[in-house]
Amino acid sequence: MKLDIAFSGCRIDRADHLRGDPQALAALMTHHARLLGMGGLDPALTADGELVWTSLAEADPEGELVFLGIEDGRACFAPVPAIANVGPPNPRLWQALAAVSSEDLAAYGVARALVGWHARHRFCAQCGGATVLTKGGWQRNCTACPAEHFPRTDPVTIMLVEHDGALLLGRQPRFPAGRFSALAGFVEPGETVEEAVAREVLEEAGVTVRDVTYVASQPWPFPSSLMIGCHAIAEGTAITIDVNELEEARWFSRPEVEAAMAGDPDALFIAPPVAAIAHQLLRWWLAR
């Protein structure tokens, strides 16, 4: 089945070959170029929930710009905010994004992940020197040592764990009341995707899994992850949660998952939001 992966499907051509060509980039920065309207890491939106594109004349002359690529023959840029903000997105942003088209959401996601990375990487992790944006914003170079730095994307596994037709879902303390979702965790150095899935489920819920399979992936710009959605079979049902990670973990039957995904007010839990890959994994699982 076709999943609706939020933040994917960006229509802007990344035009990778232009990034390393300062003359070509400069030639694109005309009055035809478009600047994405942003307030810090949040998007400016019209009353209809559309992204706001202005011109480079609106850019802060002291600020840095990231070249997103080319759409409809016009170069697209996004402004790096002056202040690094590593907090989670505010809840009102989620409400606003619900009205945004999938194409706009994808363009915003690329911009947010990139400009957020720049705002948090003004200094060289290797020597502490100041860094400067280069290659149209797809690299930063240190001004004091030869180090080159590249935008970071963190792989995260997120998994539906199944046993005898039931699914293991968990609650993080920060979730809204009633919400359960798929377990998830960062892939660590030295792990395959499959090993990371098995370790996370064992750590967080005390459940041993086998037969890990890949289902789908999603770019997640808060701040910049690659969610790798998987399915696994549990060896048993006994749960021992890691209280530092989860508040609760439970097995839900297929009808219980169906009720939650249908938004039934009597459902045992509230499903993850449509924009999250966990929601799409649950759709995939119910449709199998």
Query: What is the number of H-type helices and E-type strands within the chain?
Result: 7, 15
Q: How many residues does the chain have?
A: 288
Q: Which residues contact 240 (CB under 8 A, 6 or more apart)?
A: 205, 206
Residue 8 CB, nearest distance to a second copy (Å)? 5
DSSP 8-state secondary structure symbol assigned to residue 56: G
CB of 232 to a second copy, least distance (A): 14
**Which residue's CB is nearer to a second copy, number 147 or number 261?**
147
Question: Which is nearer to a second copy, 58 or 188 (by Cβ)?
Answer: 188
Question: Is residue 10 within 8 Å of residue 106, measured between CB atoms?
Answer: yes
Pick the closer one to a second copy by CB: 169 or 228.
Answer: 228
CB of 99 to a second copy, least distance (A): 20
In the complex, minimum distance from the CB of residue 27 to a second copy, in angstroms, rounded to a whole number: 19
Least Å distance, CB 102 to a second copy, is 13
Other CB atoms within a 10 A radius of the CB of residue 147 amount to 14
CA-to-CA separations, 29 to 37, 65, 134, in angstroms, rounded: 16, 10, 15
- Give the closest residue to 66 by CA, choosing from 152, 151, 155: 151
Check the CA dihedral 110-111-112-114 and report its sign. Answer: positive
Nearer to a second copy, 242 or 258 (CB): 242
Q: How many CB atoms lie within 10 A of CB 273?
A: 15
Q: Which residues, at least 6 apart from 192, have a Cβ–Cβ distance to it below 8 Å?
A: none
CB under 8 Å, gap of 24 or more: what pairs does 124-132 form? Answer: 124/149, 125/149
The first and second tokens of residue 134, run together, are 């280069």
Q: Which amino acid belongs to residue 152?
A: R
Q: From the CB of 217, what's the least distance to a second copy, in Å?
A: 4
Q: Binding residues for a second copy, per CB under 8 A?
A: 5, 7-10, 14, 16-17, 20, 84, 86, 106, 109-110, 113-114, 117, 120-131, 138, 147, 149-155, 186-195, 199, 203, 214, 216-219, 221, 224, 226, 228, 242, 244
| Amino acid occupying residue 272 | P
- What is the closest distance, in whole angstroms, from the C-beta atom of residue 71 to a second copy in the complex? 13
| Least distance CB 70 / a second copy (angstroms) | 14
Nearer to a second copy, 152 or 254 (CB): 152
Residue 107 or 161 with smaller CB distance to a second copy: 107
Distance CA 158, CA 220 (A): 12
* Chain position carrying tokens 């600020």: 63
Nearer to a second copy, 106 or 168 (CB): 106
39 or 189, CB closer to a second copy? 189
